[in-house]
């Protein structure tokens, strides 16, 4: 395994924490992440929709590639996570 590749998940997680911490401090939205998966939680469906778009825009601004076909952006009461 090339140098650095084995640790990419740690750096990915740290970068995600830094990027999302500001959003979380300024709102009542909760984020749960596991490796490269992210779950966004909020009681209000409209606010959740706004936050999903905001998070996706911020991550893309920082150069993250979001695979749309893997995303489930429609708010649901119950999902399988992990």
Q: Pick the residue with more confidence: 31 or 11?
A: 31
16-54 residue pLDDT tens: 888 888 888 888 889 888 777 888 999 999 999 999 998
pLDDT band of residue 3 (cuts 50, 70, 90) is: low
Look at residue 1 in the predicted model and tell me its pLDDT: 46
Interval 3-8 mean pLDDT: 67
Burial class (CB in 10 A: 0-12, 13-18, 19+), 53: exposed
Look at residue 4 in the predicted model and tell me its pLDDT: 59
61-72 residue pLDDT tens: 988 888 989 888
Tell me which H or E stretch contains 29.
none
- What is the model's pTM? 0.74
């Amino acid at each position: 395994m090339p140098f650095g590749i084995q640790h990419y998940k740690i750096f990915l997680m740290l970068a995600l924490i830094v990027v999302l911490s500001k959003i979380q401090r300024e709102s009542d939205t909760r984020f749960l992440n596991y490796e490269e998966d992210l779950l966004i939680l909020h009681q209000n469906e409209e606010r959740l929709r706004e936050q999903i778009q905001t998070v996706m825009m911020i991550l893309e601004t920082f150069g993250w590639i979001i695979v749309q076909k893997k995303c489930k952006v429609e708010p649901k009461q119950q999902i399988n996570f992990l």
